[in-house]
Structure 1
Amino acid sequence: MHVPPSVLSSFVMLLVTIGPIETAVVFASLTAGVHRGERARLAIRSTAIAGLVLLLFAIGGNFTLGLLHISMPAFRVAGGILLFLQALSLTFSGPGLSSISEGERHDAERPGDIAVFPLAFPLIAGPGALSAAVLLMGRTEGWIEVTGVLAMIAVCLALTYAAMRMAERLVILLGLTGADVVRRISGVLLAGLATQFVFDGLGSAAFIR
């Protein structure tokens, strides 16, 4: 079965920007001591909310850019730079644009519902993932590629949900070193994809022609 290269690159970019492993590690930390049933409900609710946000950005992103008079080449350059910054953070073991700060972590540890904040946003549907959804939909040609991007969003969200359900086992299996290796490899892959978006944006810019 032949899989179009655009679908494969969409899967890699979404997987890296959503970050199921990183999400699972933070999820395990935030839900330590929480009953297993409640953790399952948090995982499915946060994944569903993040999926809705990503879907809205993927479908309505180009329309919103048009209302703001932002061309797709300009957004490709801006989005590529944003994703490249996230790639640098991942490669050099920084927290990344889709992670949460210590202050946000402290707020999340207070009593209350954490499905929306910080799990759905900014952990799963963070700035990098939202930018990636708009960029990937902006380069699609035809309903087959559109369907492919939407399917890859669904697949990555399903992997994220599965990772959160297995969060405790993943933390034990990978440890700090294993999670760090996954993060660095993801950063390298994302850097290449982000740079390609910048090149595509500059190549289709009117002032370069």
Structure 2
Amino acid sequence: MTPEFYVTAFVTLFVVIDPIGTTPIFVALTQGMTRGRRRAIAVRACVTAIAILFLFGLFGEALLGFIGISMPAFRIAGGLLLFLTALEMLFGRRTRRRQDQSEVDDSGPEDDPSIFPLSIPLLSGPGGIASIILLTDQTSGAPWAMAGIFGVTTVIFAIVLMLFLVSEVIERALGPTGILVVTRLLGMLLAALSVQFVLDGLANTGLLA
């Protein structure tokens, strides 16, 4: 695979996983907790999410084949799903939805939000699952290419973990306006990438010459 492919994979997964947009939610979910407990929750959430994405990256295509869904069809559906995610980011709906999800469990500071809602659905939601299946499919099962995709995913979750650990500092530095601007820019990138996924899926079906 070319370096450009891994750059595309990094941008796609980074935008969908959205470390910058998830960091303020992490702050809200762990408010009032000790630094050690916040660190444990951050690590547990990242490890769980990356394990889920790795499983779908390895076995997602086989699962689709078992239920009779072709990869071009899934690529088109995945592209449309990512495009809807991009629209939510551009119009601020995704941030509000994530905040609503973060308020589902508000019984006290000692509750553990690492699995829900941090890992699922914030870090390894439908968009991330669709993206990693689409990306691993493009490797044609080549072991080194698959390892490259998983390496890119690992790097992104290392960034997620780092941002979680310094989330309070970043939130104060960017402020609400800075986070809003970054989210909009990432939404534009994701919209363009999602359209490319749809075009690739149509090309594989032979509908595009």
Q: How high is the TM-score relative to the length of structure 2?
A: 0.93
Tell me if the contact between 1:16 and 1:190 (Cα under 8 Å) persists in the aligned partners: yes
Aligned position for 1:95:
94
Tell me if the contact between 1:87 and 1:190 (Cα under 8 Å) persists in the aligned partners: yes
Aligned position for 2:56:
57
Are 1:34 and 2:37 matched, yes or no? no
2:137 & 2:93 partners in 1: Cα distance?
29
Residue pairs, 1:97-136, within 5 angstroms: 100=98, 102=100, 104-111=101-108, 112-136=111-135
1:50 & 1:197 partners in 2: Cα distance?
23
Aligned position for 1:140:
139
Tell me if the contact between 1:86 and 1:96 (Cα under 8 Å) persists in the aligned partners: no
**Deviation at 1:3?**
6.3
Please tell me the residue identity of whatever aligns with 2:68: H
RMSD of equivalent CA atoms = 1.8
Tell me if the contact between 1:6 and 1:145 (Cα under 8 Å) persists in the aligned partners: no
2:105 & 2:41 partners in 1: Cα distance?
13
Q: How many residues align?
A: 206
Tell me if the contact between 2:21 and 2:95 (Cα under 8 Å) persists in the aligned partners: no
**Deviation at 1:138?**
1.0
Aligned position for 1:186:
186
**Deviation at 1:158?**
0.6
Relative to structure 1, is the Cα distance of residues 96 and 200 closer, same or farther in structure 2, using a 3 angstrom cutoff?
farther
Please tell me the residue identity of whatever aligns with 1:172: R
Please tell me the residue identity of whatever aligns with 2:164: M
SS at match of 2:94: coil
**Deviation at 1:162?**
0.6
Please tell me the residue identity of whatever aligns with 1:155: V
Aligned position for 1:165:
165
**Deviation at 1:8?**
0.4
**Deviation at 1:208?**
5.8
Aligned position for 1:151:
151
User: Which 4+ runs in 1 deviate beyond 3 A?
Assistant: 206-209
**Deviation at 1:94?**
1.8
**Deviation at 1:127?**
1.2
**Deviation at 1:132?**
0.6
Are 1:10 and 2:9 matched, yes or no? yes
Please tell me the residue identity of whatever aligns with 2:34: H
**Deviation at 1:110?**
2.0
Aligned position for 1:71:
70
Tell me if the contact between 2:56 and 2:133 (Cα under 8 Å) persists in the aligned partners: yes
**Deviation at 1:123?**
1.0
**Deviation at 1:206?**
4.9
Tell me if the contact between 2:25 and 2:102 (Cα under 8 Å) persists in the aligned partners: no
**Deviation at 1:144?**
2.7
Relative to structure 1, is the Cα distance of residues 96 and 176 closer, same or farther in structure 2, using a 3 angstrom cutoff?
closer
Q: How high is the TM-score relative to the length of structure 1?
A: 0.93
2:192 & 2:53 partners in 1: Cα distance?
22
